[in-house]
Structure 1
Amino acid sequence: MPNMRKTKILCTLGPATESAEVILNLMEKGADIFRLNMSHASHDWVRMVYGRIREAAAKGAKEISVLMDLTGPSIRTGDVEQPWQLQVGDWVEFRCKPDVAATVPLSVTVNYPELGKDLHVGDIIMVDGGMIQIKATEISEKRVIGTVLTQGEMKSRRHINLPGVPVRLPPLTQKDYADLDLGCELGVDYFALSFAREPAHIQHLQLLLEQKGSKARVIAKIENQQALQNIDTLVEASGGIMVARGDLGSECPIEDLPLIQRHIVERCSYHGRKVIVATQMLESMIENPVPTRAEVTDIFNAVIEQVDCVMLSGETSVGRYPEKCVEVLDTVIRRIEQKYPSGRFASDAPLKTNKHKTVKAAILLANSIPNSKLLVFTLRGVMAHLLAHQRPEFASIFAFTPNLHVSRTLVTARGVQPFVLAFEEGNPEKAIRDAIEMLRKHGHIKAGDPLVILSDALYDGINVDAILLRDA
């Protein structure tokens, strides 16, 4: 009987993993979700790769979820003719508009016209992930001049972070709107909103999706201090959160990063939203065939925190050992979950509705019965997501839905194994029999296993939440 892994694996696809063969191999080694990073992808490439993902899923008889990561409104420098070798004390100028004349030798444009309005003298400008730090000393609406605090090489089109500075960037760029149209056309399951700062940004994107007829959900990427200040409202407004530790590490004191990660995971648990931990999970494996000991410990912490997904970025998009990375993640996660099946029961989540109470009762029952399995029958996925958010201690969750899109969204939920199954109206018993047969076929259950069955079956036009207990 296969041992289910609860924590899901999200892989970013790129030049190293774009072939149909490698995509299928990644799935077979444990990938559950594929990420399309629109910061580096053309529309033609996305169409090609998306088709390959769906073909591989059909061959592997496994549901796969696809997340399109929108680029978002990042602040970047313009071009420099040759890389600058910056020394401590050098003067650097950031010109807020292309037609503004340079006043110092080291001068570069930025793509954010409001930079001079948002900054104050003394603010720190972090360039290229914080590799270069510049202190703002002279500010006007046309330009910002600062002194270099840390030496380093500055190249063209470098990303800028402004720690603690509220910015007035729009939630989406023109490029994002075009990418959004493509994602809706293809039918991706999730959109990741980069640099989400306010719940209104998420609501804006969700409204656009509804207008386009898309059922995709929005994952909010937490990347700056502004987002952290609004974390509860962002979590509530979203379908899930991505802890984007790259930009967070530039925006916040590095010693606070583990505390921030834990806090975000706890807020997602409280509000019943999924959470993804991203960035540098196996960074060393971009070039090396084995991880560092610290990386394995990082994975341990994420699994013990009971996150829904851990994400690979450059490791699988451009790295030398993408398949090995997935294999390592899968092996390490399984070992940790075997030793620590559950760190905590999510009893702090509020029981807002009768459905919440029914789900909680089902989990208490399953946790009290050794070797039990949880079966949930759901049309929209709500009950299955609620089960996942409550973090059952030992029981595996098998979700059955007639809706393919719902099945794909459930792939991202911790501990849930989704299946597409036709429901016959007025005959819930047939659906249960068919589900048990399907699980036996896949080797997930055997005769005599205790089953806790949860459904919102329709009786005489009324949805009735029900808990059944029976043997397989």
Structure 2
Amino acid sequence: MRKTKIVATLGPASSGEEQVSELLQAGVDVFRLNFSHGTHEEHTATVGLIRKHAEQQGRSVAILQDLQGPRIRTGMLAGGVPVHLQPGTPLILTTKQVDGSADMVSVTYGGLPKDAHVGSRIFIADGSIELRVVTATSTELRTEVVRGGKLGERKGINAPEVHLNVKSFTDKDQEDLHLGVSLGVDYIALSFVRSAADVEEVRSAIWASGASIPIIAKIESQEAVERLDEILQASDGVMVARGDLGVELGPERVPMLQKSILRRANELGVPSITATQMLESMITSPSPTRAEASDVANAILDGTDAVMLSGETAVGRYPLEAVRTMDSIALEVESHAPRIDMHLEYSSDHSHSLAHAATLVAEEVDATAIAVFTNSGFTAQLLSKQAPMIPIYAFTSREDTYHRLALWHGVTALRGEFAEDTDALIAGMLGELRDRQFAELGRNVVVVRLSPPGGRHLANFITVRVITL
């Protein structure tokens, strides 16, 4: 059973009913809805399809709402036709709405001319086009094209040398968040996080909506890297957003930044997603490059909880093949790799030590599974961060926990009813594992129950049971 989780972005190539069902069967654990694109009506319909087919297949699947954030984009072009920008030629970026050309293009952020300064580098279209600011007025930036290329409509703009006076949590994000809360999404990803305060602002908005949804902080700027610890401690998860991170800091820095972000996330027990261009060539090709296969493998060896597909499944020609490829790479790596030492920083709470002990016991007795009953997901998450070689089966009666555990490394969530009688509770869990062929007759199962800090004061225990008829 694969332990690394797969996140797939839905889009025009994959959001139909048949495609969603097939992607689930191929092994998707988390569906990402990119709110930079699509209407509220389209996202509402997609959530309905995911829940419907996950239920039909008996799968625990999480939905990740990815908020757009303060994304700055170019405007529309005359006739919708892409233009070619030549190195050494001038290009005006204007805050006015114009039909763009090779001489002048609109930008969506009105403060860009005020924030930028002469000499600033500006990148467009994932860094493929580079401009340098020559002069600035209140409404225009006159730039020189340093690295040219084909420019289409509504392409992303990055200005790594400019401090942009924009909010991480925009008005559009607030509207989208309200929709996500009403639809019952399982995670919310916050784009262009710069500090813990950005995360707390969104958390307050979630609470004000009467919900409690975990927040995934996307690390994609120098500011976020510099404040990584405070962001991780304020968040419920982290995404290594390598696209904008590479544009902002340079592609040569991404590999080591990825390793350091994942290492720190694991030390703090925070779930992680590695994203962007993992199997990029599969947008147009049915098979990956060798470098892409190595990239996915190395992210897994770095200790990521999940690997993510973006354009590969959203707009690519081979979304199913991309998921199957990622699945096979993960299984191959996991079959050879030893258990990763996460170097966890243990709190004074004894639950962390007990989770570590449970993992050691399971390996010592050659257990076929670790079984837990969890209300909030706390116990399963603690065990997940121990990265045991043995699969973790988490039984829960809460629907939100059932879905959210789909993101956590090595955890399979199952529905179950809590019983006050410990023996009855354990018997029910073991019977379910046996009936669903998750555990073989005669094999050991380590059963764990831990109480979270401030939770119900139930007796903590670790016990070894044998699967019987």
Note if 1:380 corresponds to 2:366: no
| Distance in 2, Cα, partners of 1:446 & 1:99 | 66
Distance apart, 1:341 and its partner CA: 4.1
| Distance in 2, Cα, partners of 1:118 & 1:229 | 21
Distance apart, 1:294 and its partner CA: 1.0
Distance apart, 1:140 and its partner CA: 4.0
Distance apart, 1:30 and its partner CA: 0.8
Letter in 1 for 2:91: V
**Residue of structure 2 equivalent to 1:427:** 421
Contact 1:166 1:226 (8 Å CA) reproduced: no
Which of the numbers 452, 457, 460 marks the counterpart of 1:462?
457
Contact 2:268 2:345 (8 Å CA) reproduced: yes
**Residue of structure 1 equivalent to 2:466:** 471
**Residue of structure 2 equivalent to 1:168:** 165
Letter in 2 for 1:397: I
Distance apart, 1:107 and its partner CA: 2.8
Note if 1:305 corresponds to 2:302: yes
**Residue of structure 1 equivalent to 2:200:** 203
| Distance in 2, Cα, partners of 1:372 & 1:80 | 59
Note if 1:360 corresponds to 2:376: no
Contact 2:301 2:337 (8 Å CA) reproduced: yes
Contact 1:7 1:306 (8 Å CA) reproduced: no
**Residue of structure 2 equivalent to 1:9:** 6
CA deviation string 1:269-297 (max 9, x = no partner): 11110110111111111111111111111
Distance apart, 1:469 and its partner CA: 2.3
Which of the numbers 133, 147, 151 marks the counterpart of 2:148?
151
| Distance in 2, Cα, partners of 1:382 & 1:105 | 55
**How well do the aligned residues superpose, as a CA RMSD in angstroms?**
2.0
SS at match of 1:79: coil
Letter in 2 for 1:74: R
| Distance in 1, Cα, partners of 2:435 & 2:212 | 31
Which of the numbers 385, 394, 398 marks the counterpart of 1:399?
394
**Residue of structure 1 equivalent to 2:106:** 109
Contact 2:85 2:102 (8 Å CA) reproduced: no
Contact 1:94 1:109 (8 Å CA) reproduced: yes
| Distance in 2, Cα, partners of 1:105 & 1:60 | 51
| Distance in 2, Cα, partners of 1:141 & 1:235 | 37
| Distance in 1, Cα, partners of 2:228 & 2:264 | 8
Contact 2:23 2:320 (8 Å CA) reproduced: yes
Distance apart, 1:404 and its partner CA: 1.2
**Residue of structure 1 equivalent to 2:246:** 249
| Distance in 2, Cα, partners of 1:457 & 1:98 | 58
**Residue of structure 2 equivalent to 1:389:** 385
Which shows bigger deviation, 411-420 or 177-186? 177-186
**Residue of structure 1 equivalent to 2:86:** 87
SS at match of 1:272: coil
CA deviation string 1:60-102 (max 9, x = no partner): 111111111111111122233264432222222223x4289x9
**Residue of structure 2 equivalent to 1:218:** 215
Contact 1:347 1:390 (8 Å CA) reproduced: no
Distance apart, 1:165 and its partner CA: 3.0
**Residue of structure 2 equivalent to 1:78:** 75
Unaligned runs of 5+ in 2: none
Letter in 1 for 2:178: D
**Residue of structure 2 equivalent to 1:330:** 327
Aligned ranges 1:268-347 → 2 under 5 Å: 268-342=265-339, 344-347=340-343
Which shows bigger deviation, 77-86 or 286-295? 77-86
Note if 1:57 corresponds to 2:51: no
Distance apart, 1:214 and its partner CA: 2.1
TM-score (norm 1): 0.93
**Residue of structure 1 equivalent to 2:411:** 416
SS at match of 1:15: coil
SS at match of 1:311: strand
Q: Percent identity between the aligned chains?
A: 37
User: Cα–Cα, structure 1 residues 352 and 163, in superposed 2: closer, same or farther, change >3 Å?
Assistant: farther
TM-score (norm 2): 0.93
Aligned ranges 1:436-447 → 2 under 5 Å: 436-447=430-441
Equivalent pairs counted in the alignment come to 461
SS at match of 1:188: coil
